[in-house]
Amino acid sequence: MRFRQYAPELESVDKIIVDGNKCGVGIQLSHWPGNTTPVRFKADLSLDIVLRLLASTEPAIRFTDADLVTNDHYDTDGLLAIWALLNFAESPQHAPVLQAAAEAGDFYEFTSPEAVQFDLIVRAFESPERSPLARQIGGLPDAWRWQITTEALQRLDNHALFMFSKS
């Protein structure tokens, strides 16, 4: 399974749509209005929806057969929901840390200093002015910029989660 930022050419490709809504065909794991997320997984955060799916014992839910995960925007909840899905074997053990960061990002709540720091890092990575990837992402269309930043942060997430889970 791999991540690819949503673009119109993915409209008719079967995929898992995480924290997005207008991404064409595929199973939605999203809290966005009008989503088609299965009722038994619905939650206020897309991360929680993914974690509920991962905890499900229903054999009909075969998310591991999917080749593609996509999202139509960039934020902490979506980034962490994607990470949880791509790292499904280890993400449940990090659920409290993941959830605190997703809440800080989507609800603008102070859940912990580390969670807020993580959200600020996610926001900074996407900024063409402040990002450590500024040379790579400056002037690119949103989808390309979000693909690059998501891939970079997915590589960092394992280290960041380990660091935050110790505090």
Q: Which of 17-26, 60-69, 81-90 has the lowest mean pLDDT?
A: 60-69
Range of the domain at 156: 2-165
Residue 59 has pLDDT above 70, yes or no: no
Which tens digits make up the pLDDT trace of 99-111?
A: 999 999 999 999 9
Task: State residue 4's pLDDT score.
Answer: 95
Side chain identity, residue 16 = I
Task: State residue 167's pLDDT score.
Answer: 47
Rounded Cα gap, residues 76 and 82, in angstroms: 10
Rounded Cα gap, residues 6 and 144, in angstroms: 9
Which tens digits make up the pLDDT trace of 105-145?
A: 999 999 999 999 999 999 999 888 889 999 999 999 999 99
Rounded Cα gap, residues 137 and 140, in angstroms: 6
Domain tally, the chain? 1
DSSP 3-state of 77: helix
The phi and psi torsions of 12 (rounded to 5 degrees) equal -100, 10
